[in-house]
Amino acid sequence: MKGIVVFDMDGVLVDVTASYRETIIRTIERFTGRPVTRDYIQQIKNRGGFNDDFQLSHTVITEFGVKARYEDVVDYFQSVFLGANNDGLILEEQWLPSDGLLARLAREWRLAIFTGRTRAEARLTLDRFAPDIRFDPIIGNEEVENQKPAPDGLLKIRAAWPDLRAVYLGDTVDDARSARAAGVPFIGVAAQHNSRRDELAGLFRAECAQAVIENVNQIEGVLS
């Protein structure tokens, strides 16, 4: 094995524009009555410290002058995202890797995931789109003491496979800062359709990203 490729999920393996990002927008509007744009959400993400979408939603609601219990925000968020029986906006997600990409990578690299999702929510999407691809380990947000930009998840993965060099692929400045804190090379994903792509790419470079790509399907060229 050449090493271990660690993927963030949202925005890297999965297009969450119509799932997580839309859920954030609906949650903020539900509590404040104020519609926000996807560009506004990206602006908040680029501030850093908002890897957790629950926290992001609650923070924006609070900044808009509305007092809401964090637990109520989470409950409503999940009712939109997961629905009554995993039939919510999670079903609007789109898988980003092209056919065969991950299988080719797996011939030479071990594959792992460090995500802000829970492991259960990660598995819902992975079982739907990539049931035959092995990711080991999968580190969800409940398995780390400190959320990104802390390096906890990446440090756990490095500890599990100490003899393998690691690289982390992510789409937020918190991913980049987590990688830098863990001493893991970082590849940033700044999608062409991202309204703040240039700003995001600049943030990645400031965090010493080894490369900035438009989508996960360009990863083979970078790794080679």
**Reported confidence tier of residue 193, pLDDT bands at 50, 70, 90:** confident
Tokens matching residue 137: 């380990």
Q: What is the CA radius of gyration of the chain?
A: 17
Q: Average the pLDDT over 132-141 and give the result.
A: 95
Tokens matching residue 181: 């804190």
**How many Cα atoms occupy the beta-carbon half-sphere of 165 within 13 Å?**
5
Is residue 26's pLDDT more than 90?
yes
- Residue 95's beta-bridge partner residues? 14
* pTM recorded for the entire structure: 0.94
Q: How do residues 166-185 score in pLDDT, each as one tens digit?
A: 999 999 999 999 999 999 99
* pLDDT at residue 155 in the model: 97
Q: Average the pLDDT over 29-52 and give the result.
A: 94
What does the DSSP 8-state code read for residue 98?
P
Is residue 192's pLDDT more than 90?
no
Mean pLDDT over all residues of the chain?
A: 96
* pLDDT at residue 152 in the model: 97
* pLDDT at residue 63 in the model: 96
